[in-house]
Amino acid sequence: MIALRGGRTMLDLHILPATPDMLSEIVLLEEACFSAPWTRKMLEAELTGNPFAHFLVALRQDPSRKEAESEILGYHCFWIVFEELRLMNVAVRGSMRRQGVGRALVMEACRLGVEQAATRAILEVRASNEAARSLYTQLGFVQVGKRPQYYTHPTEDALLMEMNPLVLPGSWQPDRTCRTGGAPLLPDSL
């Protein structure tokens, strides 16, 4: 569990692997967050059929509810393909943005990438997506290229961003209680 301090709020959050029963909620979130969302089939394929894919969710910790009933605040699908970490799809519920959830999801992907011997991380982002670009830049990604008119709905360039070498951003360090299948998230680094 990690505690995020965002503005005046304190958010207790679990980051853990998504499970197939979360698919419907993830589809709804995807549709709310993107103008050209991945389909249910695409998301399901990542969740259940792609050996390179990892799919994390951020859940708000609510002691009065069972884990399966927790609200999904955000998710992150990424691939670890040998030496390369590819960030594929990250989104945070609109009402929960700017509280560190997106950063925690991306940092956890970086941690898992390092753990699995990935040496660089790459991603594509819409040129107009200031929030996402700023998030990646803050974590140490730099722009290394542009793919003209890569996106549709609306048509737009993709910026290619990279972190090479891949390192744990900032003061990301092991903590005692992370539940992502290994180590750890450090609350104070968020």
Ligand X SMILES: CC(C)(COP(=O)(O)OP(=O)(O)OC[C@H]1O[C@@H](n2cnc3c(N)ncnc32)[C@H](O)[C@@H]1OP(=O)(O)O)[C@@H](O)C(=O)NCCC(=O)NCCS
Q: Which residues of the chain form contacts with ligand X (CB under 6 A)?
A: 33, 90-92, 97-103, 125, 129-132, 134-135, 138
> What is the DSSP annotation of 72-140?
EEEEEEEEEETTEEEEEEEEE-GGGTTSSHHHHHHHHHHHHHHHTT--EEEEEEETT-HHHHHHHHHHT
Nearest CA-CA partner of 122 in 143, 107, 149: 143
Angle at the Cα of 93 from the Cα atoms of 92 and 99, rounded to 5 degrees: 65
| Closest to ligand X by CB, 117 or 137 | 137
Q: How far is the CB of 103 from ligand X (least distance, A)?
A: 3
Q: Which is nearer to ligand X, 39 or 117 (CB)?
A: 39
- Within 10 angstroms of residue 20's Cβ, the number of other Cβ atoms is 10
Q: How far is the CB of 46 from ligand X (least distance, A)?
A: 15
Q: Which residue is closest to ligand X by CB?
A: 102
| Shorter beta-carbon distance to ligand X: residue 35 or 48 | 35
CB of 26 to ligand X, least distance (A): 13
Q: Nearest approach, Cβ of 16 to ligand X (angstroms)?
A: 17
Q: Cα separation of 68 and 74, whole Å?
A: 15
Assigned token pair, 61: 């910790």
Of the pair 34, 52, the CB lying nearest ligand X is at 34
Q: Which is nearer to ligand X, 9 or 173 (CB)?
A: 9
Minimum CB–partner distance for residue 76 and ligand X (Å): 8
